[in-house]
Structure 1
Amino acid sequence: MDEQTRWIRLDGAVNVRDLGGLAAADGLTTRFGRVLRSDNLQDLTATDVRRLVGDLNLRHVVDLRSDPEVRLEGRGPLTREPAVSIHHLSLFAEGGVFTDVAADSIDADKVLPWQSRQDSGPESERSVGHYLGYLQDRPDSIVAALRVIGRSDGATLLHCAAGKDRTGVVCALALETVGVSREAIVADYAQTGERIERLLVRLRASPTYAADLDSRPADSHMPHAYIMEKFLSTVDERFGGVPDWLALHGWTGTDTGALRARLLS
């Protein structure tokens, strides 16, 4: 791992990095080796698994994909590692018309639940709408994911398909909760843009994602900083901030203390 960029090199994933080294309040920084974020993991090689489990002490994986994505794409080799616990915490309302599909049926409108949301308006508004939808549809999954991080006995890796939107939102909420600067949170979100071309090549190789990716303008896939800025400012305006939103859904001061203890030094 390059601690200047935080990127982690793996053969079977391209958007993998550590959330360490980010500036927080009171002169603190986030610790390396506590939270990793990634694109999907089903193509990890044996060498990748040894690196993650052995060298990086990976003990928990938070899989934010929908049930159909997991069935169609697979859960990946880390499910066979006894040292690693898998937490499947979809950010979509499962079991509805847009997610309840058979494992052997590829229907883009159903496999990709985000396609059911409103696509009118500028890209920033559409993306923010998707992100707010995660908060509306699955606050339980978000709270559970943050608790996994706070209670982990090793490194926790969060991922979805691209490691950009769903993963980006949960990581941003975790960082905001422990007092990481808004500037650092936004910069981390936008950093996926450095790998976007390789990431899109990887996702287009899967029939689950290819049609959706090709149906939208190239720029719509970029994690622009203004998208995360608008999302977090909207949470501020509507809920009083991330801590207040979490409190509405059962998050406690003890949870915040545990998360801060795990992430900050």
Structure 2
Amino acid sequence: MTGDRELSWDGCVNVRDLSGLGRVRPGAVVRMEAPTRLSEAGWATAWAYGVRTVVDLRDSDEREPDRAPRPAGITTVHAPLDPIGTPFYEHWKNIDHLSSPLYFPAMLAEHPEPVVAAVRAIAHAAPGCVVFHCAGGKDRTGLLALVLLRLAGASPEEIIADYLLTYDRMKPRYDELGARDQLAAVTELLATRNTTIEASLTSTITSLTMPDFLLGNGLSETELDVLRARLAS
């Protein structure tokens, strides 16, 4: 499934193009973990790939200095996705630390604004490839990828397979931290709720109506046209 979507940018382990999923063209959008570990060579490779905008989904308290400077021509846009300080955030922090797809439907229903703001940042980005990321490139990144891929007509099977790749790609990082296997941890958590990763994602995907979700939560028709052109032109 991954083919040429897998990207090798020195310093990071979880970098892939969303091309070939639905109608997404190569070089439009790339998902990854936080790019703070990219080396100078890694940033040079990203630049050569066409990256001109990085959309950071993390909260300001999570941001760390880059190990190597970003090319001057790359713009970084901050679009925090977690609604920190809300009852929603406190509720889900106690359930899954917002680290599983279990919270996706509630997030889209109760706090669509930050999701649409991140989508808008991609739509309004300068010409070139757009990278979006959170910390590990799994859940906040996964939720935004799900929204974009749903708009682009990707199948539930494609979206789920793409989400699951991150568990394998990020395993070396979790091992470094001495953390337990995240796929096992999330699988066990969802089992206590009588569901699975696949079933949870499928429920979110099939209930998300596009482009109604975006238009109903503030994205304009013009922005929608720009976003579609960016993804599929």
The alignment's TM-score, normalised by the length of structure 2, stands at 0.80
Change (3 A) 1:256 1:116: same
Helix, strand or coil for the counterpart of 2:215? helix
For residue 61 of structure 2, what is the aligned residue in structure 1?
Answer: 68
For residue 49 of structure 2, what is the aligned residue in structure 1?
Answer: 56
The alignment's TM-score, normalised by the length of structure 1, stands at 0.72
What is the distance in 2 between the residues matched to 1:128 and 1:16?
Answer: 20
Is the 8 Å Cα contact of residues 177 and 242 (structure 1) preserved in structure 2? yes
What is the distance in 1 between the residues matched to 2:135 and 2:122?
Answer: 20
What is the distance in 2 between the residues matched to 1:127 and 1:87?
Answer: 24
For residue 118 of structure 1, what is the aligned residue in structure 2?
Answer: 95
**Structure 2 unaligned residues grouped into runs of 5+:** 188-195
What is the distance in 2 between the residues matched to 1:39 and 1:114?
Answer: 25
Change (3 A) 1:81 1:196: closer
AA at the equivalent of 2:225 = G
Change (3 A) 1:63 1:133: farther
- Residue 50 of structure 1, CA deviation: 0.6
Is the 8 Å Cα contact of residues 79 and 86 (structure 1) preserved in structure 2? no
What is the distance in 2 between the residues matched to 1:62 and 1:78?
Answer: 18
Change (3 A) 1:38 1:221: farther
**Structure 1 unaligned residues grouped into runs of 5+:** 99-111, 120-125, 205-209
For residue 89 of structure 1, what is the aligned residue in structure 2?
Answer: 79
Among 156, 160, 171, the alignment partner of 1:186 is 160
Helix, strand or coil for the counterpart of 1:8? coil
Among 192, 197, 211, the alignment partner of 1:243 is 211
For residue 28 of structure 2, what is the aligned residue in structure 1?
Answer: 34
Change (3 A) 1:97 1:170: closer
- Give aligned-pair identity as a percent: 30
Q: Is 1:232 the equivalent of 2:205?
A: yes
AA at the equivalent of 1:83 = G
Runs of 4+, deviation exceeding 6 Å: 112-115
For residue 8 of structure 1, what is the aligned residue in structure 2?
Answer: 7
Is the 8 Å Cα contact of residues 51 and 129 (structure 2) preserved in structure 1? yes
What is the distance in 2 between the residues matched to 1:196 and 1:114?
Answer: 26
Helix, strand or coil for the counterpart of 2:37? coil
Is the 8 Å Cα contact of residues 32 and 131 (structure 2) preserved in structure 1? yes
Helix, strand or coil for the counterpart of 1:31? coil
Change (3 A) 1:197 1:113: farther
- Residue 261 of structure 1, CA deviation: 1.1
Q: C-alpha offsets along residues 155-204 of structure 1, whole Å, 9 cap, x if unaligned?
A: 100111110111011011011113223332222222223324224235x2
Change (3 A) 1:114 1:84: farther
What is the distance in 2 between the residues matched to 1:159 and 1:7?
Answer: 15
